[in-house]
Amino acid sequence: MSRIIVQAHVTLDGVIESPPEALLPYMSDEGRQETLDLALACDALLLGRVTWQKLAPGWREQTGAMADRFNAMPKYVVTSTLSSADDWNNSQPVTYAEVAALRDRLDLLSYGCGPLARDLLRDGLLDELHLNVTPVVAGRGTRVFNEPAGLLAFDLADSHTYPTGAIHLVLRPPRRPQDG
């Protein structure tokens, strides 16, 4: 079986939509390379509609190793409203019901921690969560998990501190009994 990995940048207080000054000073060449390596290790991107609409304009015109990889990768856009995803090459709309079948045959990489990531976690489809945590408190904004229904416990699979002070965490949701 393949896997679904979600990667996100968050502040120390868990904010995923934060100002550039909460992220940019903490980016490093090492972190960029690890992000590229992760994208190279996956078969396709799995994006929610809103994330896809935010990423498409920024990446489709760029060049460089990361942009080249993103632009070449198949992109599955989970949506119930788009009938076409022609704004970014290699993009295809899919329904959420199709995600499990995609996961059975592809290693999927997703960005952001919006509704799609929360649904994947809820339904046992999320295999790894990669968080790049910056040592900044944003104070407000959308959090990685806004008011979860209960305690969410993850297993720490790996961690690494970048020279800038950001921390990369690889977390795995504990396997449920039916997951084997």
For 10, half-sphere exposure in the C-beta direction (CA atoms, 13 angstrom radius) is 23
Residue that has been written with the tokens 């996956």 in this structure = 42
pLDDT at 178: 52
Q: What is the pLDDT along the chain (180 residues), one digit of tens a residue?
A: 699 999 999 999 989 887 788 888 999 999 999 999 999 999 999 999 999 998 999 898 899 999 999 999 999 999 999 888 888 999 999 999 999 999 999 999 999 778 899 899 989 999 999 999 999 999 888 888 776 667 888 999 999 999 999 999 999 998 755 554
d(CA 113, CA 13): 14
CB atoms under 10 Å from CB of 147, counted, come to: 5
d(CA 40, CA 51): 20
Domains and CATH numbers, the chain: 4-179 (3.40.430.10)
d(CA 127, CA 154): 11
> Three-class SS string for 20-39?
HHHCHHHCCHHHHHHHHHHH
Residue that has been written with the tokens 């995803």 in this structure = 85
Q: Which helix (H) or strand (E) holds 49?
A: helix 49-59
* Cα 132 to chain centroid, rounded: 11
